[in-house]
Chains A and B, each alone.
Chain A
């Protein structure tokens, strides 16, 4: 992978970063955010909008629609306009563009409005590839979400392509 004329994108610091858990982040799930997410997708099931319908269907409150794992508490000192880079140490050459490569979510328990989730992430793998868009750094990260009762409710694996 790193053979050839061009230097590898992956540094020793990045290799050492693999598996290192970042600081936990708090994600809130509330009725307004569930409705907003469901509306953006175009969900039509009333359980995502009407708490009575949700409870009649057996949920504690509005259930999180598929793909929704809460909204992080906004921190104005961390605000930035660019794409997410996955954080952590940076590659040997700047890669300013980013594409989402894939998302996988394993659900272990229900997530409903009123839940407060703690997310703990780490980079699981760095890989480099040459593609039609040039040098690509493929970053696979894993995030574990636990709820207010310390129950692991979801594990998300995300793939970001930086190029």
Chain B
């Protein structure tokens, strides 16, 4: 069930979402997003560019955090703005924890808005994809 306006409080955490990409998922994403850059599925190619191995698409992590927000606000809510930076690389077959926290709850122009901080975390606890979003609740 999605969150209600009444339930939201500043500092509360969003229910976490755990992801772990197989290389197959990266190929699915290449097709779904149209990003066919080979560093995401061709190991030899990735190494030839100086990477240690395959890496997870940044935009896929953006979409993971988008799912975290969607699952939290449901279909009555809307994402008004959402952005993140790709600060650290994530690799296939390793957990990517998607997390978020409410920063501000307010009403503006008749809309019930919530600012949240979101991020992905790797198994070492490093935030690889920090971001911020503003969502509207019913």
Contact of B80 with A45 in the complex, beta carbons under 8 Å: no
User: How far apart sit A4 and B133, CA to CA, in the bound complex (Å)?
Assistant: 39
Q: Which residue of A lies closest to B78 (CB)?
A: A107
The residues of A that contact B33 with a CB separation of less than 8 Å are 37, 40, 68
Contacts A65-B67, A66-B70 hold; do A41 and B83 have CB atoms under 8 A apart? no
Contact of B66 with A67 in the complex, beta carbons under 8 Å: yes
Among A94-102, A112-120, A121-129, the stretch that binds chain B is A94-102
User: How far apart sit A59 and B28, CA to CA, in the bound complex (Å)?
Assistant: 26
User: How far apart sit A105 and B65, CA to CA, in the bound complex (Å)?
Assistant: 12
The residues of A that contact B12 with a CB separation of less than 8 Å are none
* A 30-45 binary contact with B (CB < 8 Å = 1; else 0): 0001001101111111
Contact of B83 with A157 in the complex, beta carbons under 8 Å: yes
Interface centre among A67, A81, A82, A157 (most CB of B within 10 A): A67
Contact of A42 with B19 in the complex, beta carbons under 8 Å: yes
Among B3-11, B55-63, B99-107, B108-116, the stretch that binds chain A is B55-63
Tell me how many residues of B have a C-beta within 8 Å of chain A: 38
B120 CB, nearest partner CB in chain A, Å: 13
Contact of B37 with A41 in the complex, beta carbons under 8 Å: no
A47 at the interface (CB under 8 A from B): yes
Contact of B37 with A40 in the complex, beta carbons under 8 Å: no
The residues of B that contact A99 with a CB separation of less than 8 Å are 58, 86
Contact of A43 with B58 in the complex, beta carbons under 8 Å: no
Report, nearest first, the 8 A-B pairs whose CB atoms are least far apart.
A66-B66, A104-B83, A40-B32, A67-B63, A100-B58, A57-B75, A102-B85, A40-B28
30 contacts between A and B (CB under 8 A): A36-B32, A37-B63, A40-B28, A40-B60, A41-B67, A42-B19, A42-B25, A43-B70, A45-B75, A65-B63, A66-B82, A67-B63, A72-B34, A81-B36, A81-B38, A83-B37, A98-B37, A100-B57, A101-B85, A102-B58, A103-B59, A103-B62, A104-B82, A104-B83, A104-B84, A105-B81, A105-B82, A106-B81, A107-B81, A110-B78
| Chain A residues in the interface with B (C-beta under 8 A) | 33, 36-37, 39-45, 47, 57-59, 63, 65-68, 71-72, 81-84, 97-107, 110, 133, 157, 159
| Chain B residues in the interface with A (C-beta under 8 A) | 19, 25, 28-29, 31-38, 49-50, 57-60, 62-67, 69-71, 75-76, 78-86
Contacts A41-B29, A66-B63, A99-B86 known; 6 new A-B pairs at CB < 8 A: A58-B76, A66-B66, A66-B82, A102-B84, A107-B78, A107-B79
